[in-house]
Chain A
Amino acid sequence: MLVFRKSPSLAVPIMAILAMAPSANAFTACQITDTGGIDDNSFNQTAWEGVLQAQADLGIDARFLESEAETDYEANITSLLGGACDIMFTIGFLLGDATQEAAEANPDQLFSIVDYSYNPSLDNVLGQVYATDEAAFLGGYLAAGMSETGIVGTFGGINIPPVTIFMDGFAYGVEHYNQRHGTDVVVLGWSPETRQGLFTNNFESLDDGRAFAQNLYEEGADIILPVAGPVGLGSAALADELGPDELMIIGVDADMYQTDPERGHVYLTSIVKRMDATVYQVIEMVRAGEFEGGIITGTLGNGGVDLAPLHDFEGVVPADLVAELAETRAGITDGTIVVGTD
């Protein structure tokens, strides 16, 4: 009732807010998440940190909209159109269609999408893509070296390229370790050849994360790489109960040791995708008037992707293995090691 009694005078504050929104000097960066939400400890959160960093350093305004369902993508983009945002970040492959449609209908609005590139490219969309397989390769190598059962596992959210690229790199890294050491470490949950594997088919359910990890654990895996945003937190919960001697988790997107500190001790490492860095870079480009449609790529070489520090496992991981990892990293960046089938 409180609200409705005021209704005759509502017009005034509405006008005031409408007048405030497009003020001339302010620069606003907007982010639209996928269904994982802004606080997913991983994918969307990392990108948002780039926006927040820019807010702190450059004094820009920042807004975000969370998508509850995939039917929200287009609606969310629409509700931020109309000049409120100088740059709109759409986070994730799944927003590819919606972003393209909005970009074509609104040629003056700048967009930057994570994990998607358009062919042919659009003038007002900058895709941020990552050679995640390079960092995942190191993760796979480390996992193969650390596994006591000789079995490691992985599962994904949805069978889409930005997810499977992690699993590819991971599997190739394990293979590389096997070749070098003559071992026979097995990867469960993904085959780079058949392009088939384990998928939860969502990026939300922590229960699925737990159940999938449980299955892999029962098959003998002692290190698991969940590539499904917040779903991996469910796997970490299982590892927390079993203890890191039984089951370790490799985090994705962010350094999960830091984003999920309560269970930090179960993360062997994380395969980090520095969306915060690229998002920040794009904001700077827009402010400097240097925005161009196309793609920017994050690699191991330019720091766009990386392996997180070992944190609690510093000292637990044998020095030889650490040295081999450094060697492998150098090999990938100078091109002597090619990630992929050779």
Chain B
Amino acid sequence: MSVNDTLDSAKEQLLRRAAPGRAQFEDLVIVPLFAVAVALMLGALIMLATGIDLPTVGRSFIALLAGSVGSLGALSETLVAAVPLVLAALGLALGFRTGLFNIGAEGQILMGGLAAVIFGFTFDGLPFAILMPLSLLAGMLVGAFYAGIAGWLRAATGAHEVISTIMLNLISYRLLDYMLRLDWVQREGRSDPISRSVPEAAELPRLLEWLDPNLRMHAGVFVMIAAVIVVHWLLFRAKLGFEFRASGASPDAARYAGIRAGLIIVLAMATAGALAGLAGANQVLGVLGRASPGFSAGIGFDAIAVALLGRSHPVGVLFAGLLFGALEAGGRQMQVDAGVSIDLIGIIQALIIVFIAAPLLVRALFPWGFRAASKGDAE
């Protein structure tokens, strides 16, 4: 009897894998949607609990909407905030698929961004068509190298990448402080740690400046879209991506199938680092125009949440990044219009993560949502 049961459930699993549509749809779309909704509701309750009256709560949610998608300026800000999150999260997602939990995006962003700045001002004078792409590339290479260290440590010595990437983050903070004080990096006439400015030919051009000089949306948006496509192709169409996923799903099976585990770990970490480095380069070349301590602004950590919310799928990451970008841009407006603390946005983001990380909780809270879905009817 029990043998039959096992066979049945195995068959079921096989079938599910063959026709992933329904379960995957629930997992990829409905759980995140409910998580966001519940987080917003809990956010409202927290606001009420901290003595904010109901009209202000309503006004702050309107501000959240208006500040993220309510105008051209709001959309531009949402995209500016989303681009580095998506880029870094793509790298993390790729790591998750390979079974690597890379906490080091923050450090990789810092190192990549710093490299892009240094490359930019060192080769000042090169034309835009050469300097800008090469500066981005410099950021990617250094990010890849920096993450590769953790990958190599894991492959060669078995040092766990969670520990080594956290340590590499700490090293990157101090390394940045040190580098920013070197004579050839520090801006002339300043005693504080701040780099020279990136020349205009290395900057990612702002796309809407002709409309209004305050619109900050820059060409990094195209970089982001290209990265989503490339990572999607790499993960699901390329041999290397298959090896990544195979190693992530079952390291032993992958090894018996002839996949070289050590090499895959280093390559996956390096690819993730390249994307984080690209995110850093994007920040300094598109938004800041310079490097200074802490220019990563926690993007590397927020990106972990984005990758998880996006279920480590490139398209999911894109939407999750846009959502977090919208929360950031809208959160600013919440503060302006309703005087609600920016910290509340942090709480809402954290709540989203909690519910994403606990899909069973969401299913238990909203059983009707999933019944509807299983009838093949999307909401």
Q: Which residues of A are at the interface with B, using a C-beta cutoff of 8 A?
A: 1-4, 10, 13-14, 17, 63-66, 68-72, 74-76, 78-82, 84, 97, 102, 105-106, 158-161, 164, 195, 201-202
Stretch at the interface among B241-249, B288-296, B310-318: B288-296
Given contacts A74-B216, A79-B67, A81-B214, contact A159 B287 (CB under 8 A): no
A sample of 16 more A-B contacts (CB under 8 A), given A13-B62, A71-B283, is A2-B41, A3-B40, A10-B65, A63-B336, A63-B339, A64-B335, A68-B297, A70-B295, A74-B287, A75-B80, A75-B81, A79-B333, A82-B214, A84-B336, A106-B213, A201-B193
What are the 6 closest A-B residue pairs judged by CB atoms, nearest first? A69-B297, A105-B213, A160-B192, A71-B297, A159-B191, A79-B332
Given contacts A63-B336, A71-B288, A75-B80, contact A106 B62 (CB under 8 A): no
Asked if A17 and B336 sit within 8 Å, CB to CB, the answer is no
Residue among B65, B192, B288, B335 facing the most chain A CB atoms (10 A cut-off)? B192
Asked if B73 and A14 sit within 8 Å, CB to CB, the answer is no
Judge if B44 is at the interface, Cβ distance under 8 Å: yes
Judge if B27 is at the interface, Cβ distance under 8 Å: no
Judge if B203 is at the interface, Cβ distance under 8 Å: no
| Residue numbers in B under 8 Å from A160 (CB-CB) | 190-192
Of the A-B pairs whose beta carbons lie under 8 Å apart in the complex, a sample of 29, sorted by A's number, is A2-B44, A3-B41, A10-B62, A10-B65, A13-B58, A14-B65, A14-B66, A14-B70, A17-B59, A63-B339, A64-B335, A68-B297, A69-B297, A70-B294, A71-B287, A71-B295, A75-B77, A75-B81, A78-B73, A78-B77, A78-B216, A79-B77, A79-B332, A79-B336, A82-B73, A82-B214, A105-B213, A159-B191, A164-B191
Asked if B214 and A80 sit within 8 Å, CB to CB, the answer is no
Asked if A69 and B298 sit within 8 Å, CB to CB, the answer is yes
A101 → B minimal CB distance (Å): 9
Q: Which residue of B lies closest to A161 (CB)?
A: B191
Q: Which residues of B are at the interface with A, using a C-beta cutoff of 8 A?
A: 37, 40-41, 44, 58-59, 61-63, 65-67, 70, 73, 77, 80-81, 177, 190-193, 213-214, 216, 283, 287-288, 290, 292-295, 297-298, 329, 332-333, 335-337, 339, 341-342
CA distance A4 to B58 in the complex (A): 11
B292 → A minimal CB distance (Å): 6
Asked if B336 and A80 sit within 8 Å, CB to CB, the answer is yes
| Residue numbers in B under 8 Å from A72 (CB-CB) | 297, 332
Asked if A65 and B192 sit within 8 Å, CB to CB, the answer is no
Q: Which residue of B lies closest to A157 (CB)?
A: B192
B57 → A minimal CB distance (Å): 10
B321 → A minimal CB distance (Å): 16
Return the contact of B293 from the options A2, A63, A195, A201 (Cβ within 8 A): A201
| Residue numbers in A under 8 Å from B37 (CB-CB) | 1, 4
| Residue numbers in A under 8 Å from B80 (CB-CB) | 75
Q: Which residue of B lies closest to A30 (CB)?
A: B336
| Residue numbers in B under 8 Å from A65 (CB-CB) | 332, 335-336
CA distance A195 to B181 in the complex (A): 13
Q: Which residue of A lies closest to B176 (CB)?
A: A201
| Residue numbers in B under 8 Å from A195 (CB-CB) | 191
CA distance A160 to B293 in the complex (A): 13
CA distance A218 to B248 in the complex (A): 51
CA distance A10 to B293 in the complex (A): 41
CA distance A78 to B290 in the complex (A): 19
A271 → B minimal CB distance (Å): 20
Q: Which residue of A lies closest to B84 (CB)?
A: A71
CA distance A306 to B213 in the complex (A): 41
| Residue numbers in B under 8 Å from A102 (CB-CB) | 214
Return the contact of B337 from the options A17, A66, A75 (Cβ within 8 A): A17
A197 → B minimal CB distance (Å): 11
A200 → B minimal CB distance (Å): 11
| Residue numbers in A under 8 Å from B339 (CB-CB) | 63
CA distance A46 to B70 in the complex (A): 34
Given contacts A17-B62, A105-B213, contact A70 B40 (CB under 8 A): no
Q: Which residue of A lies closest to B298 (CB)?
A: A69
Return the contact of B294 from the options A13, A66, A69 (Cβ within 8 A): A69
A198 → B minimal CB distance (Å): 14
Given contacts A65-B335, A75-B332, A201-B193, contact A70 B292 (CB under 8 A): yes
| Residue numbers in B under 8 Å from A105 (CB-CB) | 213-214
Asked if A66 and B62 sit within 8 Å, CB to CB, the answer is no
Return the contact of A66 from the options B73, B177, B192, B335 (Cβ within 8 A): B335
Asked if B77 and A158 sit within 8 Å, CB to CB, the answer is no
| Residue numbers in A under 8 Å from B41 (CB-CB) | 1-3
CA distance A106 to B214 in the complex (A): 9
CA distance A64 to B81 in the complex (A): 21
A322 → B minimal CB distance (Å): 35
A240 → B minimal CB distance (Å): 26
B72 → A minimal CB distance (Å): 12
Asked if B216 and A75 sit within 8 Å, CB to CB, the answer is yes
Given contacts A3-B40, A78-B216, A79-B67, contact A70 B297 (CB under 8 A): yes
| Residue numbers in B under 8 Å from A79 (CB-CB) | 67, 77, 332-333, 336
Q: Which residue of A lies closest to B214 (CB)?
A: A78
CA distance A202 to B293 in the complex (A): 9
A36 → B minimal CB distance (Å): 13
| Residue numbers in A under 8 Å from B293 (CB-CB) | 158, 201-202
CA distance A164 to B190 in the complex (A): 12
Asked if B288 and A68 sit within 8 Å, CB to CB, the answer is no
A159 → B minimal CB distance (Å): 5
CA distance A10 to B336 in the complex (A): 19
CA distance A158 to B40 in the complex (A): 37
B208 → A minimal CB distance (Å): 12
CA distance A17 to B338 in the complex (A): 11
CA distance A81 to B333 in the complex (A): 12
| Residue numbers in A under 8 Å from B292 (CB-CB) | 70
